Amino acid sequence: MRMKNLVAAATLAAGSFVAAAHMAVAADIALISGKPDDTFFQPVKKGVDDARTVVELTGGTVNYMQLVNYDNLGPDAANLIRTAVGQGVDGLVIADWVPDSMDVAIKEAIAAGVTVMLYNSGNIEKANELGAINYVGSDEYQAGLGAGVYFTDLGYKNILCVNHVPGSFPLETRCNGVLEAAKAAGAASEQLPLPPTQADNAASVAQAIKAALLTDPSIDAILTLNPAVADWAASGIMQAGKTNSVAFGSFDMNEAGLNRIKDGTQLFAIDQQPYLQSFLAVTLLNSYLEYGLTLPTMPVLTGPGIVDASNIDATLAGVQNGAR
Amino acid sequence: MSDNSKPPVLELRNVDKSFGPVEVLHDISLKVREGEVLCLLGDNGAGKSTLIKTLSGVYEPTRGSILLDGQPVRFARPKDAQNRGISTVHQFGGTFPLMSIGRSFFVGVEPTKKFGPLKVFDRKKANEIAVSAVQEFGITRIDDGDRLIGGLSGGERQSLAIARAVHFGARVLILDEPTAALGVKEAAHVLRIVLEARRRGLAVIFITHQVMHALTVGDHFAVLIRGALAADFRKGEKTREEITDLMAGGEAMAELEQEIQAYLDESPETEPVQNRPASSEEAV
Amino acid sequence: MSADKKRLSLGSIVRRPETGSVIGLVAVFLFFAIFGQITFLSAAGAASWLNVAATIGIVALPVGLLMIAGELDISIGSMIPASSMIFAISSGYFELPIGVGIAAALCFGLLVGFINGYLTLRTGVHSLIVTLGTLFAVAGLTLTMSVALTGTTSVAVQSPPFIKATMGDFINGIYQVTIFWWMLWAIVLGFVLHFSPIGNWILALGGDKESARNAGIPTQRLTIGLFALSSFSAAFVGVNQAILFNSAQVSAGMSYIFNTIVCVVVGGVLLTGGYGTVVGIVLGTMTFSIVNQGIYFTSFNANLASLIIGVLTLAAVVMNNSFRQMALTYAPKKAEKKAEKAE
């Protein structure tokens, strides 16, 4: 028994020695990102590209790894983690989208001597539990709460939270945040789930939102959780004849969404500033691997930022550069 | 019957057909005249279907020539053969089970009528022509052109296909095993229609492996074995048994019959033999 | 005699390929009329499912024609977002004239359709596999090009009033003009399938490719034409969506693949070809859309819509199968009697 422990300790020591020897030269970092056609991850990629210049200055590399689709999100992401570990990376930036499938792989990576940074999805408790050095991202619950408060502060009474991936933990958490904000202000909130057979069909989503508005006339505010659904929701609200009476906000944004905020047909967009998530996660991880530097700020929150009529012009400038 | 003074409508002279190094047809010479039924007999794999495809323009002969009315012809496509009056009817009528009688009758040659500036498929006309064409052949049960082909019996389908070929001016009718999948009554229907086609002066090439059917309607017989013509004779020159033996390659048929008889004699005993080990096990 | 006649007429209804879809449509309509609130029956409620039916229907019609001809086209799933993006990038991002963007998107549709048809003929591989290839290829190309050209995967586009009015406006604020395009498409394709000689060719092609070719039908041109038609229609819907919603996304469209197949199958088209009607496809599309959108007018969870559609599809398959069997075994009564007497 003692012998066995000794051997294990020796192996571990040898492993960390190799890792230490490596890190002195340069840090190889991998970041696991969403699927290529997910608009949200465009600024994430921009953040990685910008961070790469810093890492390459210190002789390291950054590998941007992408999921192909979200049909089997947890296991696919876990496999990407194992692939990265197999490639011998020193540091890994990963979003904990599906803890049940991914936590095991993250723990294995840490056990293999890889330093892990959580970003985008998760929280600091999760980072501590797994042994990751920090969490850089937005807090879904806080973001949902922020959106809810924005509505209730303006006096809206019934908020519809449009969930385009029913069952997704982060999206459910956002809607729960909205619900809490509504409760606190004596308002109501419910979810509108969009089944997968229609969640990517523009006309279908628009009609679903119109139907919801017609069947429940007390709904006076709508929150969508992604920018494409926001485009379609805007049409659904218009078709219900309620562009002027129903307040409309969305998570994240695209050009059309920003145009709506400028025109006044959309109230706000919750911005979790994805560029900062990847940029900070990679540079912080690199600083830790290269120089042993750590931040006392835990977690590093990049959101919720709110884009509305007051700051739309500055935001549009950032969009031009692909950072928002 | 036909006399030999008339020139054959269709003639094959020393036709060979090879696929790469494999020679499937070897030195085939055949003639068929107006108002004559040529029965092409042969076992499975004898080269019957290759011969049909060569006649109907799917394949071109590797060597030798095809003559139509005494003139050499070349068919590059099945359509060429059809345009010259050579029509092939396949085993199941070669038609479309889920199409109506009228529609399938006119596939590729749809009758149209003017509808404003547009040309419209004339369903009524198509149905009428199709129904009357098949009724002329004595199949009075078919009287609704909107019925689906798949609802017809095998014999009716064959009859319809033959009536279709005749309607579109076929001079040579190639029938590929038209009676193979049919019951006795249905087969009799089809044979009656073959005789009707002959009466109308068509040259019929009737491919079959059922000697009885061939003897009923044939004027002239050719037996095909392994791609070569094993026998070529006229009606009355050979008995049914002789033809059967020819097709099977000599004595094979007689041997097979003996073997079958021997098997039938033996088989009642085999069952108890198989049961024995089980019962002995029970005894233990 | 009169009773006999009545039975025959009922029989002839049952034997039509779209009977199953009529029954399905009536059933789901009654279901949602009862369980949906009164708004389901209102003009806005009708617009709700008609708008969805129109967008899916424009693609489902040519996909159905292809299926009747014995082929499948799943590349429409990436053709819709591809044409949306081509249009939005050309006319939105690069600010080219609106006509250029629309023409570019539609031409790309024709090109992909031509490639689908050509490869299906050339390789002899089932069109499911060929269009699976183009599905991925077009999706990848769209994504790469849009990121390379615009740095994003979602592009906004504003259309001038004339285009907006013909392609992407709402009549009375609720009915998409797309509904008229769908009706036009149904009339044109209904004429082609049921009244023109080409319709006979399509049925023959799906029934027996070999015999159709031997009968002198230009099967190759017909196949390529049908693939071009389905890709073109998908491209049309893509452009229409971009005009309607003032923006295009790279990823919106994969659900159309299965949704169109469901509409076509519920509409009584035989998956293996040779059998089906345009009316059936239209009814199938309406049925699908009523289930998909009607659920939002009820108190049921929207996730149940998928369950209902699944059950409906299976029921349609079983029902269509037995109706087809009835059509096949049908022989007119009087003819049978006559035949019996004769024998």
Cβ <8 Å between B107 and C201: yes
Is the residue at A309 inside a domain?
Answer: no
B141 to C201: CB separation less than 8 angstroms, yes or no: no
How many Å apart are CA C63 and CA C207, to the nearest integer? Answer: 17
Does residue B276 carry a pLDDT above 50?
no
Whole-number Å distance between alpha carbons of C38 and C307: 23
Per-domain residue ranges of chain B:
10-250, 251-284
pLDDT of residue B2: 45
* A298-310 exposure pattern, b = at least 16 Cβ within 10 A, e = fewer: ebbbbbbbbbeee
CB-based touch A/C (3+ pairs, under 8 A): yes
Residue C267 has a CB neighbour count (10 Å cut-off) of 32
Task: Collect all residues of chain C within an 8 Å Cβ-Cβ radius of residue B106.
Answer: 200
> Is A227 within the bounds of a domain?
yes
* Contacts of B267 by beta carbon, 8 Å cutoff, 6+ apart: none
Least confident of B1-15, B17-31, B221-235, C112-126: B1-15
Q: Does the distance separating the beta carbons of C208 and B96 come in below 8 Å?
A: yes
Look up the domain containing A218 and give its range: 140-271
Over the stretch B163-211, which tens digit does the pLDDT of each residue have? 888 888 889 999 988 888 788 888 888 888 889 889 988 999 999 888 8
Contact assessment for residue A29 and residue A282, using Cβ atoms and an 8 Å cutoff: yes
Tell whether C309 is within 8 A of chain A (Cβ): yes
Same domain, A178 and A284: no
C-alpha–C-alpha distance, residues C189 and C178, integer Å:
16
Task: Identify whether residues A9 and A132 lie together within a single domain.
Answer: yes
Residues A160 and A148 in one domain: yes
pLDDT in the model for residue A63? 94
Contacts of residue C217 in chain B, CB cutoff 8 Å? Answer: 107-108
% of chain C surpassing 90 pLDDT: 54
C87 DSSP 8-state letter: H
* Structure-block tokens of residue C57: 């229907």
- How far apart, in whole angstroms, are the C-alpha atoms of residue A61 and residue C335? 84
Residue A179 maps to a domain: yes
Q: What percent of chain B has pLDDT over 90?
A: 14
Per the CB < 8 Å rule, is B99 touching C330? no
Question: Which chains form contacts with chain A, at 3 or more CB pairs under 8 Å?
Answer: C
What domains, with CATH codes, occur in chain C? 39-314 (1.10.3470)
B131 touches B90 (CB < 8 A): no
Rounded to 5, what percent of chain A is helix, strand, coil? 50, 15, 30
Distance CA C304, CA C295 (A): 8
Residue A15 lies in a domain: yes
pLDDT value of residue B166: 87
pLDDT surpasses 70 at C10 = no
Interchain pair C214, B94: CB under 8 A: yes
C-alpha distances out from residue B119 to B205, C188, C193, C199, Å: 38, 13, 13, 12
Compute the C-alpha angle A90/A93/A99, nearest 5°. Answer: 120
Nearest by CB to A255, from C45, C156, C258: name it. Answer: C156
Mean pLDDT across C14-31:
82
Which two three-digit tokens encode residue B283?
Answer: 């005894």
Residue A40 located in a structural domain: yes
Query: Amino acid identity, residue C249?
Result: Q
A292 within a domain of the structure (yes/no): yes
Could you tell me if A259 and A145 lie in one domain?
yes
Phi, psi at B180, each rounded to 5°: -60, -40
Of C45, C252, C255, Cβ closest to residue A228: C252
Query: Domain for residue A312, yes or no?
Result: no
Single-letter amino acid code for the residue at B199: R
Per-residue pLDDT, B251: 53
What angle do the packed helices C304-329 and C278-294 form, to 10 degrees?
160
Domain boundary among the residues A250, A271, A292 is at: A271
- Are the Cβ atoms of C217 and B108 closer than 8 angstroms? yes
| Residues A6 and A130 both lie in one domain | yes
Residue C235 carries which side chain, given as an amino acid letter?
A: A
User: What is the CATH code of the structural domain delimited by B10-250?
Assistant: 3.40.50.300
Q: How many domains are contained in chain A?
A: 2
Q: Which residue has the tokens 């249905």?
A: B186
Residue type, A183: K
| Average pLDDT over chain C, rounded to an integer | 87
Angle between helix axes C178-194 and C197-207 (nearest 10 degrees) is 80
Position B259 pLDDT exceeds 90: no
d(CA A152, CA A194): 24
CB-based contact A202 C252, cutoff 8 Å: yes
Taking CB atoms and an 8 Å cutoff, what residues of chain B touch C201?
A: 107-108
pLDDT confidence of residue B89? 84
Rounded CA-CA distance B154/C97 in Å is: 62
C49 in contact with A at a CB cutoff of 8 Å?
Answer: yes
What is the predicted pLDDT for the residue at C319? 83
Query: Chain C closest CA to A167's CA: distance in Å?
Result: 11
**What does the pLDDT look like over C174-228, one tens digit per residue?**
899 999 999 999 999 999 999 999 999 999 999 888 888 878 889 999 999 999 9
Q: Is the same domain home to A81 and A178?
A: no
User: Prior bond to A296 cis, omega within 30?
Assistant: no
Mean pLDDT of all residues in C129-158: 90
Asked if A291 and A240 sit in the same domain, the reply is no
Residues A156 and A129 in one domain: no
Q: Is A189 helix (H, G, I), strand (E, B) or coil?
A: strand
What are phi and psi for residue C235, nearest 5 degrees?
-65, -40
Cβ–Cβ contact A162 with C under 8 A: no
CA dihedral A307, A312, A316, A322 (to 10 degrees): -10
Say whether both A129 and A218 belong to one domain: no
Same domain, A263 and A168: yes
Those residues with Cβ within 8 angstroms of residue A170's Cβ, 6 or more apart along the chain or in another chain: A97, A121, A140
Same domain, A132 and A248: no
The β-bridge relationship of strands C170-171 and C175-176 is: antiparallel
Residue A196: list chain C partners with CB under 8 A.
255, 306
Q: Is the pLDDT of residue C251 over 70?
A: yes
Give the end-to-end CA distance of chain B in Å, rounded to a whole number.
77
Q: What is the pLDDT of residue C339?
A: 43
CB pairs under 8 A between B and C: 97
Q: Does the pLDDT of residue C73 top 50, yes or no? A: yes
For residue A274, the one-letter residue type is P
Radius of gyration of chain B from Cα atoms? 23
Are A215 and C151 within 8 A, CB to CB? no
Look at residue A88 in the predicted model and tell me its pLDDT.
92
How far from the centroid of its chain's Cα atoms is residue C254's Cα? Answer: 14
Chain B residue numbers touching C207 (CB-CB < 8 A) = 95-99, 104
pLDDT band at B250 (very low <50, low <70, confident <90, very high): low
Rounded to whole angstroms, how far apart are CA atoms A204 and C79?
18
Residue A242: the pLDDT is 92
Residues of chain A with pLDDT under 50: 1-4, 6-24
- Whole-number pLDDT of residue B254: 61
CATH number at residue A215: 3.40.50.2300
Q: Contact, A106 vs A84, CB < 8 A?
A: no
The pLDDT value given to residue A165: 86
For the record, the structure tokens of C328 come out as 């096949």
A324 inside domain: no
Chain C residue closest to A227 (CA)?
C154
**pLDDT, tens only, B57-75:** 888 899 999 999 888 998 8
Query: In this structure, are A163 and A198 located in the same domain?
Result: yes
